[in-house]
Chain A
Amino acid sequence: MSSQIRSELLKLRTTRSFWLLVGITAVLVVLITVLTLALDTRLETKPDVRSVLSTAGASGLMLLILGIVFAAGEYRHGTIAWTLLVTPDRLRVAAGQALACGIAGAVIGAGIAALTAAVALPWLAAKDAPTLSGGEVVGLFAGGTLYTALAAALGAGVGALLRNQAAAIVLVLLLLFVIDPVASAVVEGYDRYSLTGLEAALIGGTADDTGLDELPPVWLAAVLWTGYTAVLVAAAALLTSRRDI
């Protein structure tokens, strides 16, 4: 499996679109952090500060798209045939892509967390905002990194399953911004398990930020998100083994 992951990581690193998406993500997160710190005057409570620092998690959406573009791109460019000639085991390929995206997501997430810390922590101190303990800050950034890793892996699962980049991105955006909120409003108790709820739990946001009643604990959010990814990867592997390339 490690050889498959190394190959997939090399695939990621050797295209410009990957570095372009990483660059856009970093700029976007820094921009959000700077704008929030410059314009938000109500940084009076610890939850306010947590909100600012958890913007690192905003990169999760970009990494979700990165995972989709990567896995579905194999079908767009026809390189999936090469991949399957070398590794005929479809599950190994789909899992390798998700794990490679997860690793890339973790590294990018950690980098972006460091960038956010470098910009936000001195600024918050200068604004006399409430101070979070070292453990709390590390926890926030670790959660953000975990979320970017899981988001990229989920994206790879969606991309491998749907095979069409545009359709997969549109579907995920619809799911996140239309279906998920509607289901949360309509179905009692769904909040805790919605993608929005899981994301907020992972990146250390508050229920208030998301307008949800309650968030699941981080460990449960991570387990559920990983479970969703595993189901997508298994479905992609099953479908790929049953259809012609």
Chain B
Amino acid sequence: MLAVDRLTKRFGSTLAVDDLSFTASPGRVLGFLGPNGAGKTTTLRTLLGLTLPTSGTVTVDGRPYRELTDPVETVGAVLEGPQFHPGRTGRNHLRVLAAAARLPASRADEVLRLVELDGAGRRRVKGYSLGMRQRLSLAGALLGDPRALVLDEPANGLDPQGIRWLRDFLRGLAADGRTVLISSHVLAEVAQTVDEVAVISRGRLVAQGGVEELTRDAAAPIRVRTPDPERLREALAARNVAAEARGPNWLAIAGSSLETVGETAAEHGLVVYELFRDRHSLEDVFLELTGETEAGR
């Protein structure tokens, strides 16, 4: 369990994180979302003991990162814009980390294979593409087969296949019961990966919850696809429910329930191909939440 509790971080007069609290639980992928400069990296670096909190606590399994006895087996981290010694090979970078963590050198080869970078492991990092550096960074995070993963903008530099690979990979890790915390400012990259999201803006938490919960909107119109929209519209009108045509075979219905529409269609023996309530996309929710606070700057 990763827990951020009333975290505040100031850099001089700049308030980077403001009284932020959220948790990430085992078996779930938590998306940590916010625009650039919202305080995501500062929060994650504080969680990893690289930045000191001004106030509040950040813990991993109940302990600050710096007090962990087996950090690489507890948390694996991918930092934003990961840095490497350009003259060292990817494999040697991992061997250095493995040695400090008392892991066998063979583990470096294993994680290179895991991130599909084994062909480039003996090349110097300065010849790596951005995507390869991200994979090497992920390999470093996986060295200790950790129970939790903290990934700061891991999709940066990955091509569409890479993003898809990362999504499947992270889903697999969560399915294994691990805690995954992934930050991003590009919602489309993580929308299909996460189970829940914590959205921050200007250092403050503006929403946290399941994707389902955040995108649900009871006031959104109902859409129905039927081969006989006019008859259904009339049947609904008889129940004082207004419906509007929305292109061929589609009706949009406001101020009613899925049950009422379904029952009305059944009573009149009408065929229904599709019946659902519109959802806000996660992106709509994100823009709405962060737009409000950003506009208040």
Contacts and interface: CB of A to CB of B under 8 A. Distances in A.
16 contacts: A6-B100, A7-B97, A10-B95, A10-B99, A14-B95, A15-B87, A16-B87, A79-B83, A86-B101, A88-B49, A88-B66, A89-B66, A241-B66, A243-B52, A244-B52, A245-B51
A73 B83 CA distance: 12
A130 to B, nearest CB: 47
Interface of A: 3-4, 6-7, 10-11, 14-17, 73, 77-79, 81-89, 241-245
Interface string B41-77: 0000100111110000000000001111001100001
B68 A88 contact: yes
B221 to A, nearest CB: 49
A14 B99 contact: no
A14 B83 contact: no
B85 to A, nearest CB: 5
A16 B99 CA distance: 20
Given A88-B66, A245-B51, A73 B85 contact: yes
Given A81-B50, A82-B140, A87 B100 contact: yes
Shortest 3 CB-CB distances between A and B: which pairs? A78-B83, A7-B100, A7-B99
Nearest to A13: B92
A135 B255 CA distance: 101
Contacts of A83: 100
A86 B72 contact: yes
A84 B66 CA distance: 9
Interface in B135-166: 140
Contacts of A81: 50, 79, 83
Contacts of B88: 11, 14-15
Contacts of A7: 96-97, 99-100
B64 to A, nearest CB: 9
B54 to A, nearest CB: 11
Contacts of B71: 85-88
A94 to B, nearest CB: 13
Interface string B82-106: 0111111100110111011110000
A17 B87 contact: yes
Nearest to A73: B85
B50 A245 contact: yes
A9 to B, nearest CB: 8
B51 A244 contact: yes
Contacts of A6: 99-100
Given A82-B140, A86-B71, A242-B52, A3 B85 contact: no
A10 B92 contact: yes
A84 B101 CA distance: 11
